[in-house]
């Protein structure tokens, strides 16, 4: 009997490996190998010539990294990326939390609202960019009209995406529009797991709405909050199509994020080596941010 279970564990192992194999192969070939290879390329002089001739890149003594340090393009792109991520994630969380809390109360048609509010999430990213470019359009756009109306005619020519001061916020609004639905959906699912008995017990004990939210709802919701915020951080760190379609990194590089900078280096200037240097540093930053985010959140969980 014992040898049979032993045999079974061994064949379990073999069977599970066979099942994993195709997905493992795909992940290694198309994700892990390219990522490692791009880190290697970041230390090489690798351009379009190498692709055409098939010659391997040549080690160039950190020239790609030194080049990034020389101009302020990289530091500016980092600042833009971090401001974008911070702004979008914080606003997204607050608005999604409000929306999900409201939809979780007794409201007529909450189910219907929950389903139609998901529409922006389904709209393809490039098309979301088009939608907001049309709303922000500098001559006939709806937002120009709205700003004119709200400011009582003081601001006549509002052009969100053409002004270096507001362009990043403009792309951020499009990102919020597309991402709020999913986060609200996840938070709403989390809210429905908060046990009603505890909430009612706290209510009988005389705890007010805000107090109950802080000491009953929030602790139950925190695992969902943690996951959905970390998803939002990663997604916005990686955001590319919105920028590339809406502004192309302009005006005057005001929306050049790390994604735009690396794409421009690698696929417009065709310096794949220095593009890889940008993506390597970008990945490092992202890993650090996610790592510290998880750290901070764990400490809060204990306290």
Residues 262-291 that bind other proteins (CB under 8 A): 262-263, 266-267, 272, 275-276, 279-280, 282-283, 286-287, 290
Minimum distance from CB of 223 to other proteins (Å)? Answer: 7
First to last CA, the chain: 49
Instruction: Determine which residue in the list 76, 123, 169, 202 makes contact with other proteins, applying CB under 8 A.
Output: 123
Contact 131, 119 (CB under 8 A): no
Number of amino acids touching other proteins (CB under 8 A): 94
Residue 51 binds to other proteins (criterion: CB under 8 A): yes
Give dist(CA 190, CA 207) in Å, integer. Answer: 21
Determine how many CB atoms are found less than 10 A away from the CB of residue 6: 10
Residue 302 binds to other proteins (criterion: CB under 8 A): no
Instruction: Determine which residue in the list 6, 79, 122, 201 makes contact with other proteins, applying CB under 8 A.
Output: 122
| Window 13-42: residues binding other proteins (CB under 8 A) | 13, 15-17, 19-20, 22-24, 26-27, 29-35, 37-38, 41
Cβ closer to other proteins: 97 or 168?
A: 97
Residue 169 binds to other proteins (criterion: CB under 8 A): no
Give dist(CA 216, CA 202) in Å, integer. Answer: 8
Instruction: Determine which residue in the list 98, 201, 268, 288 makes contact with other proteins, applying CB under 8 A.
Output: 98
Tokens standing for residue 73? 């393009």
Residue 299 binds to other proteins (criterion: CB under 8 A): no
Residue 147 binds to other proteins (criterion: CB under 8 A): no
The candidate with the shortest Cα–Cα distance to 290, out of 242, 240, 232, is 232
Residue 218 binds to other proteins (criterion: CB under 8 A): no
Residue 243 binds to other proteins (criterion: CB under 8 A): no
Residue 213 binds to other proteins (criterion: CB under 8 A): no
Alpha-carbon torsion angle 14, 18, 24, 29, nearest 10: 120
Residue 50 binds to other proteins (criterion: CB under 8 A): yes
Sequence-distant (≥ 6) Cβ neighbours of residue 144 within 8 angstroms: 136, 137, 138, 157, 158, 159
Instruction: Determine which residue in the list 60, 78, 83, 137 makes contact with other proteins, applying CB under 8 A.
Output: 137
Tokens 């030194």 -> residue: 66
Residue 185 binds to other proteins (criterion: CB under 8 A): yes
Instruction: Determine which residue in the list 186, 194, 198, 202 makes contact with other proteins, applying CB under 8 A.
Output: 186
Residue 115 binds to other proteins (criterion: CB under 8 A): yes
Helices within 28-141 (DSSP H only): 33-41, 48-53, 63-70, 73-103, 110-116, 119-122, 125-135
Minimum distance from CB of 170 to other proteins (Å)? Answer: 13
The candidate with the shortest Cα–Cα distance to 55, out of 69, 41, 67, is 41
Determine how many CB atoms are found less than 10 A away from the CB of residue 47: 17
Strand partners, 130: none
Instruction: Determine which residue in the list 6, 58, 127, 288 makes contact with other proteins, applying CB under 8 A.
Output: 127
Contact 246, 170 (CB under 8 A): yes
Cβ closer to other proteins: 86 or 126?
A: 126
Contact 160, 254 (CB under 8 A): no
């Amino acid at each position: 009997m014992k040898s049979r279970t032993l045999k079974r564990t061994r064949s379990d192992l073999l069977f599970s490996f066979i099942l994993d194999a195709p997905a493992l192969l795909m992940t290694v070939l198309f994700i892990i190998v390219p990522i490692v290879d791009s880190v290697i390329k970041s230390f090489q002089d690798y351009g379009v010539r190498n692709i055409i001739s098939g010659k391997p890149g040549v080690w160039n003594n950190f020239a790609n990294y030194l080049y990034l340090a020389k101009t302020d393009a990289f530091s500016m792109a980092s600042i833009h990326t971090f401001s974008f991520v911070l702004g979008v994630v914080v606003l997204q969380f607050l608005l999604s939390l409000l929306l999900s809390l409201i939809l979780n109360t007794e409201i007529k048609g909450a189910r219907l609202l929950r389903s139609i509010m998901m529409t922006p999430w389904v709209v393809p990213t490039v098309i979301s960019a088009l939608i907001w470019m049309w709303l922000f359009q500098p001559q006939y756009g709806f937002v120009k009209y709205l700003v004119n109306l709200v400011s009582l005619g003081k601001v006549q020519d509002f052009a969100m995406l053409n002004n270096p001061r507001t362009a990043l916020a403009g792309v951020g609004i499009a990102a919020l529009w597309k991402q709020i639905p999913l986060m609200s959906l996840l938070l709403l699912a989390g809210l429905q797991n908060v046990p009603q008995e505890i909430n009612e017990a706290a209510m009988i004990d005389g705890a007010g709405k805000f107090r109950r939210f802080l000491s009953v709802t929030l602790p139950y919701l925190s695992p969902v909050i943690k996951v959905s915020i970390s998803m939002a951080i990663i997604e916005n760190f990686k955001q590319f199509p919105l920028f590339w379609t809406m502004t192309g990194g302009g005006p005057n590089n005001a929306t050049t994020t790390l994604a735009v900078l690396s794409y421009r280096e690698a696929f417009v200037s065709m310096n794949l080596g220095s593009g890889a240097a940008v993506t390597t540093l970008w990945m490092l930053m992202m890993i650090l941010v996610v790592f510290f985010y998880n750290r901070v959140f764990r400490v809060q969980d204990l306290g």
